[in-house]
């Protein structure tokens, strides 16, 4: 299998993640979408690292994974706080920024 197959997979995962982020109404679902998009990036990094022999890609993917962990922890904490305050995590209801 060539690089293209990995890149296609990565693009698909990214697109699915973006679709989830844009369409899910639940905040948890949105976080899941973001997870997918980040992992699509990881696939990209690892694939390029494998096909060019550059170890930088691996290092970066490791960084990404650890940052993702932190992001999920923070994101979930925020979601919980929002739920406590607003009694909902429906993204449509959270429109305090409306002009």
Nearer to other proteins, 24 or 58 (CB): 24
CA dist., res. 99 & res. 95, Å (int): 9
Contact 40, 20 (CB under 8 A): no
Which range, of 3-11, 16-24, 50-58, 71-79, touches other proteins by CB under 8 A? 16-24
CA dist., res. 38 & res. 77, Å (int): 19
Smallest distance from the beta carbon of 53 to other proteins, in angstroms?
Answer: 28
Binding region for other proteins (CB under 8 A): 18, 21-23, 30, 91-92, 94-99
């Amino acid at each position: 299998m060539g690089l293209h197959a990995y890149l296609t997979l990565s693009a698909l995962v990214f697109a699915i993640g973006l679709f989830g982020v844009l369409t899910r109404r639940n905040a948890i679902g949105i976080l899941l979408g973001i997870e997918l998009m980040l992992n699509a990036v990881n696939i990209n990094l690892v694939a390029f690292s494998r096909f060019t022999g550059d170890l930088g890609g691996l290092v970066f993917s490791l960084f990404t994974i650890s940052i993702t962990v932190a992001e999920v922890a923070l994101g979930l904490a925020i979601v919980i706080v929002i739920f406590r305050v607003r009694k909902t995590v429906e993204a449509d209801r959270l429109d305090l920024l409306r002009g």
